[in-house]
Amino acid sequence: MHKNDVIVVTGAAGFIGSYLAGYLNHLGFDQLVLVDDFSVSQKAANLENKKYIDKVDRELFFEWQQSHPDFIKYVFHLGARTDTTEMDYAVHKKWNLDYSKRIWELCAENHLPLVYASSAATYGNGEYGYTDDHDIVSKLQPLNPYGVSKNEFDIWALKQLSAPPFWAGLKFFNVFGPNEYHKGRMASVIFHAWHQIKEKGSVRLFRSHNPDYNDGEQIRDFIYVKDVVDVCVWLMEHQPANGLYNTGTGKARTFKDLVKAIFNTMHLPENIEYIDTPIDIRDKYQYFTQANMNKLRNAGYNRPFYSLESAVEEYVSQYLELEKHF
């Protein structure tokens, strides 16, 4: 990637997409084309101070590309409907499957490298483990329509004979960090916990409804958004083998650990209360996720990931407390 290459980022007003745009700017790339639905006013702050050459509505992007042939050099496709509580599959199919197929075909026809967002939600209850092995993709049983749509695209991508010259689908685990302010219920536990502690001095966590886990000891692979975008850019620059790559830390931590890190950063005593997991998500709730990171490591990515404590400290003290975006 050269500094004057034109790079497309879809989902550019969203959480990870806007952070990636800022990170690319930070690395000296400012020939960006940002694609999204820019009508959502809560996302506007995510684009402040970003350098780019064009903003294109997601509905008009394919038309725009036809009038700018040979212009784009790389595509990061992070745009998606990410609401795991949206149960209408048609919504997820439109944006996460059909739109992604069109992005893929555009990249294949124009020989553009593609990095796209898949999701750890594809793993469901983890019956087949959390290994980014292509052999298990068609067997996976995601727990919600969002996860199904992401997995359906992975299945489709793996079957294509016509493909981008390089492609990687990243199975993002539990991502948190700056620029998720607009996400409401879908924002990270760190975001919600910090707000609860600011307001009440205490935090509420879901009670365990699984006898194998104590309250607060549900386990997730939490990854800082800064690490996620670093992986995105590294893959685009190094272009190892095509395929799916887990994007987590490989070290799962409990919700209790996470909340403790927030209280410590805020210099407050721990104060946790437990509430029942809402009925609408209770039977779709993952009690354990942990990325197997061997494939990415074997591909040559050897940078250390932020620890949960250091990431929480940076996010809380440098962004949430200051109401700052990246």
Q: Longest Cα pair distance anywhere in the chain, in angstroms? A: 58
Cα–Cα distance measured from residue 129 to residue 221, given in angstroms and rounded to the nearest whole number = 13
pTM of the full structure: 0.95
Q: What is the pLDDT of residue 86?
A: 77
Q: What is the pLDDT of residue 69?
A: 84
Instruction: Give the residue ranges of DSSP H helices in 131-242.
Output: 145-159, 189-200, 225-238
Residue with tokens 């924002």: 187
* Tokens coding 187: 């924002």
Dihedral sign from CA coordinates of 85, 89, 90, 95: positive
User: How many angstroms separate the first and last alpha carbons of the chain?
Assistant: 22
Q: Residue 111 region, left (φ>0) first, then alpha (ψ -120 to 50), else beta?
A: left
Spans of all domains in the chain? 7-176+222-250+288-305
Which of 306, 303, 291 has its CA nearest to residue 120? Answer: 291
The residues near 200 (Cβ < 8 Å, ≥ 6 apart) are none
Tens digits of pLDDT across the chain (326 residues): 999 999 999 999 999 999 999 999 999 999 999 999 999 899 999 999 999 999 999 999 999 999 998 999 999 999 988 777 778 888 899 989 999 999 999 999 999 999 999 999 999 989 999 999 999 999 999 989 999 999 999 999 999 999 999 999 999 999 999 999 999 888 999 999 999 999 999 999 999 999 999 999 999 999 999 999 999 999 999 999 999 999 999 999 999 999 999 999 999 999 999 999 988 888 878 889 999 999 999 999 999 999 999 999 999 999 999 999 99
3-state secondary structure of 172: strand
- Which of the residues 183, 226, 256, 284 is marked catalytic? 183
For tokens 């996620």, what's the residue? 228
Q: Which residue among 99, 146, 224, 315 is the active-site one?
A: 146
Catalytic site includes residue 183 = yes
Rounded distance between C-alpha atoms, residue 15 and residue 35, angstroms: 13
- For domain 7-176+222-250+288-305, the CATH class is alpha beta
- pLDDT tens digit sequence for 155-196: 999 999 999 999 999 999 999 999 999 998 889 999 999 999
Structure tokens at 91: 């919504």
Q: Mark whether 101 is an active-site residue.
A: no
Q: In whole angstroms, what is the distance from residue 65 CA to residue 35 CA?
A: 11
249 closest CA partner among 160, 130, 169, 149: 130
Do 278 and 231 form a contact (C-beta atoms < 8 A)? no
Average pLDDT along the chain? 95
8 A C-beta contact, residue 40 and residue 11 = no
Cα torsion 184, 186, 188, 194: sign: positive
